[in-house]
Amino acid sequence: MAVHNYDVVVIGTGPAGESAAINAAKHGKRVAIIEKQVQVGGNCTHWGTIPSKALRHQVKQIMAFNTNRMFRDIGEPRWFSFPKVMERSRGTIDKQVEMRTTFYARNRIDLFHGVARFKDEHTLLVRDRQEGMEELVAKKIVIATGSRPYRPADINFRHPRIYCSDTILSLSHTPRTLVIFGAGVIGCEYASIFSGLGVKVDLINNRDSLLSFLDDEISDALSYHLRKHGVLVRHNEEYESVEGDESGVVVRLKSGKKIRADAFLWANGRTGNTDSLGLENIGLTANGRGQLSVDEHYRTAVSHIYAAGDVIGWPSLASAAYDQGLNSCNELLDKEYRFVSDVPTGIYTIPEISSFGPNERELTEAKVPYEVGKAFFKDTARAQITGDTVGMLKILFHQDTLEILGIHCFGDQASEILHIGQAIMQQEGDANTLKYFVNTTFNYPTMAEAYRVAAQNGLNRVF
């Protein structure tokens, strides 16, 4: 068995692992990275962020074609199957894999494909698909193994009509009806995608509102637009059983209801990928969700072993994982680092949602005297030109100082629009003020112009 020595070994090639490995290599360290799949990119590239957002984009284009009056001169509305749309989305995945593979070669990072397991606190055994074994010895180790869908034991995921958010990407037909259990971010995104393809969706939520961490007005807007596109949202429900047969799936709820559909998608929770790491050999224990605890330096209980990304839990976003991996590596390199805590929310429903900072409910509970400035996209020239008139930009600011406290956006390009407000909120002192948007000239027509409109709307409320 070959033995290799490194300064840093990273487990996982998702966003956290990639940024940690490249950062270490650029600082002159000898680095290896381990990936259990045959291609790099991790769950983000192959089952999560990239395929679902590429799929969403294709569906959004279909919806635009089918609802734009100009295209009626070309022909009637078009129907596309799920496999056909997914096939088009795979081109993006291939480009991502090619690009990321180049990153490792260019930075002279050794890439090992196989399953990693701790032998001791400084040694990892890597078993490849041919049962070959390599031994990697490292001074520092970063665990960035990501997460996978949680699968309850009482649901038969081997049934051909029962899916999780990973296996749904291999769906070989387009169901006429679909039940989605779990109305979190993933469930709402897939409800948007399938309803956009004309599938009748039952979205089962075990809470009393959709995405309750959002601003209430934004959550209500999402509920309205999902229902507008044919999604039936069922709140405060739990499943009793999920049974598949040859022609579909029957979901029985604890409330006594039963629902039949062509297919079933489980989208309720994720589990950290730690069960095969041999954590018992180094004295680490994952929590009940398979996640590792870290301190503000991203160190686990073993001081030279770090963890970043979905495997440590909140916020479980690709954007945060990149920064967590980078900063965990900065710390182990004795460089300046930060603990990632202020993270924008990006939810890729149709239309999309993005927010940064507290919402109205949280500010009210904290007894912060705030005011609201709003701009509705239907009133902006750019949205009228593109036809993307659904949604709004909402600025929450302090009544007295005009300090911007929160930005909440619902509509086309929300995740892009948000970054302007986020940048101003990150400024210190008087640089973070609502007046910036009034005293700054924005290109016209743009979606960003909504900041000026919302700021003027907010100032009209101040006395």
State yes or no: 53 annotated in a binding site: yes
State yes or no: 426 annotated in a binding site: no
What angle do helix axes 318-332 and 15-26 make, rounded to 10 degrees?
30
State yes or no: 269 annotated in a binding site: yes
State yes or no: 256 annotated in a binding site: no
State yes or no: 145 annotated in a binding site: yes
State yes or no: 187 annotated in a binding site: yes
State yes or no: 409 annotated in a binding site: no
Q: Which residues contact 365 (CB under 8 A, 6 or more apart)?
A: none
Of 4, 25, 14, give the one whose Cα is nearest residue 329: 25
State yes or no: 186 annotated in a binding site: yes
State yes or no: 309 annotated in a binding site: no
What is the C-alpha separation between 54 and 61, in angstroms, rounded? 11
State yes or no: 59 annotated in a binding site: no
State yes or no: 42 annotated in a binding site: yes
State yes or no: 84 annotated in a binding site: no
State yes or no: 350 annotated in a binding site: no
State yes or no: 182 annotated in a binding site: yes
Note whether 382 and 375 are within 8 A (CB): no
Note whether 364 and 355 are within 8 A (CB): no
State yes or no: 35 annotated in a binding site: yes
State yes or no: 121 annotated in a binding site: no
- Whether the bond into 351 is cis, omega within 30 of 0: yes
State yes or no: 76 annotated in a binding site: no
State yes or no: 308 annotated in a binding site: no
Residue 116: its H or E element: strand 115-120
State yes or no: 389 annotated in a binding site: no
- Structure token pair of residue 132: 């070959």
Note whether 391 and 322 are within 8 A (CB): no
DSSP 320-363: HHHHHHHHHHHHHTT----------EEE-SSS-EEEES--HHHH
State yes or no: 288 annotated in a binding site: no
State yes or no: 184 annotated in a binding site: yes
State yes or no: 310 annotated in a binding site: yes
Binding residues for NAD(+): 182-189, 269
Mark the binding-site residues for FAD, compressed into ranges. 35-44, 53, 145-147, 310
Binding positions: 35-44, 53, 145-147, 182-189, 269, 310
